[in-house]
Amino acid sequence: MPVRAVLWDLDDTLFDYTGSDRTGALRHFRAEGLLPAHGPAHGDEEALERWRAAMETEFARFLAGEVGFLDHRRARARTFLGTPLLSDADADAWFGRYIAHYEASWVLFPDSAPVLEALAPLVRQAVLSNASTANQERKLDVLGIRGAFETVLCADELGYAKPATEAFHAACKALGLTPGEVVYVGDKLDIDALGARDAGLTAVWLDRAGTGEEAGEELPPGVRRIAGLAELPELLREVTGFGAPSTIR
Ligand SMILES: [Mg+2]
């Protein structure tokens, strides 16, 4: 089956979410007086760990439809600060100051723009993300790569979040393609690769940290692993015949 589109995860796949969040959160904590402005950084990792734990818990509740996007942000601020009674207005203001530091720290991975450019003449490209459409659209604009994508599909507007098969199928339908014509690339083995595979797409797991190799575990059947995006064009050529002129578009 010819590959007609590459569907992308955004956070921690093309966009260095973890690095941007780390830099932004530390700047914010320092500005708020929660960490020493200068000097030894021994409190950094502990603070980041609590920050990420609050994010994971509350973002999961947002994805499950238990809270709205704004309330999930407020809950992250209250949980991290240990101030359950913080008012909505104060939580919004605190989170807003974090956002300013975070956005000033936004950065792509070095291999992202080159691979998007390399694939542009060969295949259609789109984003499928579990975050909110408005956020991801703005992020892509700021990062200067919005033009690489035909469309940006997010859980809030699709009504389904990865790894649900419906999310992948809705994205394929939006592109007017069958799952067999679409490759999905993402950094999470379960949410991205297994979800995509189970929905009938060609699943590529971007394992930047090399966790799969270190664990020495066999890859789940039907999942391809790459350690960096520079490997993607060659992988697509191998597994799908992609790149042969007769199969393109
Ligand atoms: Mg991701």
Q: Are residues 134 and 215 in the same domain?
A: yes
Instruction: Answer yes or no: do 147 and 239 share one domain.
Output: yes
131 shares its domain with 218: yes
- Expressed in angstroms and rounded, the spacing between residue 40 Cα and the centre of ligand 1 is 31
Residues 132 and 157 in one domain: yes
Q: Do 44 and 163 belong to one domain? A: no
Rg (Cα) of the chain, in Å, rounded? 19
Cα-to-centroid distance, 12 and ligand 1 (Å):
5
Considering the domain architecture, whether residues 227 and 116 belong to the same structural domain is answered as yes
Q: How many domains does the chain have?
A: 2
Q: For residue 15, which of 116, 151, 95 has the smallest C-alpha distance?
A: 116
Among 43, 74, 104, give the residue marking a domain's end.
104
**Domain containing residue 208:** 5-16+107-247
Q: Distance from the CA of 165 to the center of ligand 1, in angstroms?
A: 17
Residue that finishes a domain, picked among 104, 138, 153: 104
pLDDT in tens, the chain (249 residues): 689 999 999 999 999 999 999 999 999 999 999 998 776 677 899 999 999 999 999 999 988 889 998 999 999 999 999 999 999 999 999 999 999 999 999 999 999 999 999 999 999 999 999 988 999 999 999 999 999 999 999 998 999 999 999 999 999 999 999 999 999 999 999 999 999 999 999 999 999 998 877 777 789 999 999 999 999 999 999 877 665 544 444
Distance 143 CA to ligand 1 centre (A): 16
The pLDDT of residue 242: 61
Residues 143, 228, single domain; the answer is: yes
Report CA(49)–ligand 1 centroid distance (Å): 18
Q: Which of 53, 85, 104 is the last residue of a domain?
A: 104
Residues whose Cβ atom is located within 5 A of ion ligand 1: 9, 11-12, 187
Ligand 1 center–CA 13 separation, angstroms = 5
Q: Are residues 41 and 135 both part of a single domain?
A: no
What is the CATH number for 129? 3.40.50.1000
Q: Cα torsion at 74, 80, 86, 92 (round to 10°)?
A: -40
- Rounded distance from Cα 246 to ligand 1 centre (Å): 32
Dist. CA 249–CA 149, nearest whole Å: 16
Q: How far is the CA of 185 from the centre of ligand 1 (A)?
A: 9
Q: Which residues contact 109 (CB under 8 A, 6 or more apart)?
A: 14, 15, 16, 208, 229
Separation of CA 166 from chain center = 18
CA dihedral 229, 134, 170, 163 (to 10 degrees): 60
Angle at Cα 78 formed by Cα 75 and Cα 81, nearest 5°? 145
Calculate how far, in angstroms, residue 86's C-alpha sits from the geometric centre of ligand 1: 30
Do residues 109 and 14 make contact, with C-beta atoms less than 8 angstroms apart? yes
CB of 185 closer than 8 Å to CB of 13: yes
Please give the distance, rounded to the nearest whole angstrom, from the Cα atom of residue 136 to the centre of ligand 1: 12
- For residue 38, the model assigns a pLDDT of 73
Contact 178, 201 (CB under 8 A): no
**Residues 117 and 228 both lie in one domain:** yes
Residue 195 Cα to ligand 1 middle (Å): 13
Is 81 in the same domain as 160? no
Same-domain check for residues 138 and 197: yes
> Are 54 and 124 within one domain?
no
Cis-peptide, bond into residue 84, ω within 30° of zero: no
